[in-house]
Structure 1
Amino acid sequence: MAIFDSKGRLFGKINILDLGAALVILLVIVGIFIFPGTSGSVAQVGSKTVPIEVDLAVRGLNVRDPERLFDNGFKKGGKTNVIIRNQPYGQIGIKSVQLLPRTVTATQPDGSVKELPDPRSNNFSTDMLLTLEGKAQVTESGPVLGNSKVKIGMPFELEGYNYNFNATVIDVRVQNK
């Protein structure tokens, strides 16, 4: 008896293409359930949750009246929604908000440079220093909020009732507790 017959069947009973498809399906099932791989989360099970403070610099925020922005919840003790790398993290507490003065550099007659208040009266650009506080997982590679590592230079997107703007991380402080 021949191994393959004239119709391409193995021992005259099983089509070789059907056998190949069944083996591929079996290998996929074995790969999923026996070798599942890593979980995909940056925060590992052995990590601990600690308080964290993140300083953010907001440069050139175009707002007509910064004080009105603070009246609608964007103030010390309030909360804001944070989006890190296009992944919503959720709400995080605002520890402090500090408006930074707008200045210009002016060259002096002796060649030195001084920083002076910006004389333009119709300037709607605002600079701020924000400190946010929350809880983060601490891993070997640093603190993690949600599934995103928090590092200096990262952009944060802040969103609330009447605002949505970007800020840059300038400092990360992990509290030891």
Structure 2
Amino acid sequence: MTSLNRRSGPAQWMNLGAIAVLAIAFIYLFFWPGPEGLPLVKIGLPQRAVVLEANIAGLNTTDIESTLRPGTEVKVSIKNSALIPLTLKSIERVPGTVVATQPNGNVAPQPDPRPEMRFGSNLLLKLEGKGYSNQSGFFLGVKRIRVGSTVVIDSAGVETPASVVGVVVEPLSKS
């Protein structure tokens, strides 16, 4: 063997080792389920329609109808993930109430009398989009979505946190 072959022999094994490490890292990153239970590449998982019901408490605005309209696209971020486009299906105002003691000793909900509550809105939004599901739950993007999750709703005029109060997923069709 010449001196050139002796020097290039170990280098070839090191190159093959580096290529193997990169291949394993690539497979782990894209195909191995992450902490949320869903790999970045969703091979074989059918997309399903997902309807999220999200509650926004105390959104301070006087005219929510001009900024959020049914049928428009809003973007949702789950746990600081990338923005996921969803369609706003409906907006329902939830009246702000306080518990008031009645003269007979019972309690009953009454409209909130505080003047600052004229500007506050409690809203129930229905958002529709596409997601995935597996044995560990339902996913929008690569983040699991479930009741109680906090999401950030971002549209042209509003960026506000909301709490997920309902997740409805269309059933898989038997074909």
TM-score, normalization by structure 2: 0.77
Contact 2:84–2:140 (Cα < 8 Å) also in 1: no
Matches within 5 A, 1:64-75: 65=62, 68-72=63-67, 74-75=68-69
Matches within 5 A, 1:1-177: 26-33=16-23, 36-38=26-28, 39=30, 42-43=38-39, 44-63=42-61, 65=62, 68-72=63-67, 74-123=68-117, 124-176=119-171, 177=173
Change (3 A) 1:24 1:160: same
Instruction: Name the SS of the counterpart of 2:69 in structure 1.
Output: coil
Structure 1: state its 5+ residue gaps.
Answer: 1-12
Give 1:23 shift: 6.7
**Deviation by residue 1:35-76 (Cα, 9 ceiling, x = unmatched):** 75432562531211111101001112122x1xx33223x121
Compare the two structures and name the one with the higher helix fraction: 2
Structure 2: state its 5+ residue gaps.
Answer: 1-5
Distance 2:137 2:151 in 1: 17
Larger Rg: 1
Distance 1:100 1:35 in 2: 49
Give 1:120 shift: 2.5
Partner AA of 2:64 in structure 1: L
Distance 2:154 2:140 in 1: 16
Aligned residues: 156
User: What is the CA RMSD across the aligned residues, in angstroms?
Assistant: 2.4
Distance 1:35 1:154 in 2: 30
Give 1:77 shift: 1.4
Instruction: Name the SS of the counterpart of 1:105 in structure 2.
Output: strand
Compare the two structures and name the one with the higher strand fraction: 1
Contact 1:52–1:136 (Cα < 8 Å) also in 2: yes
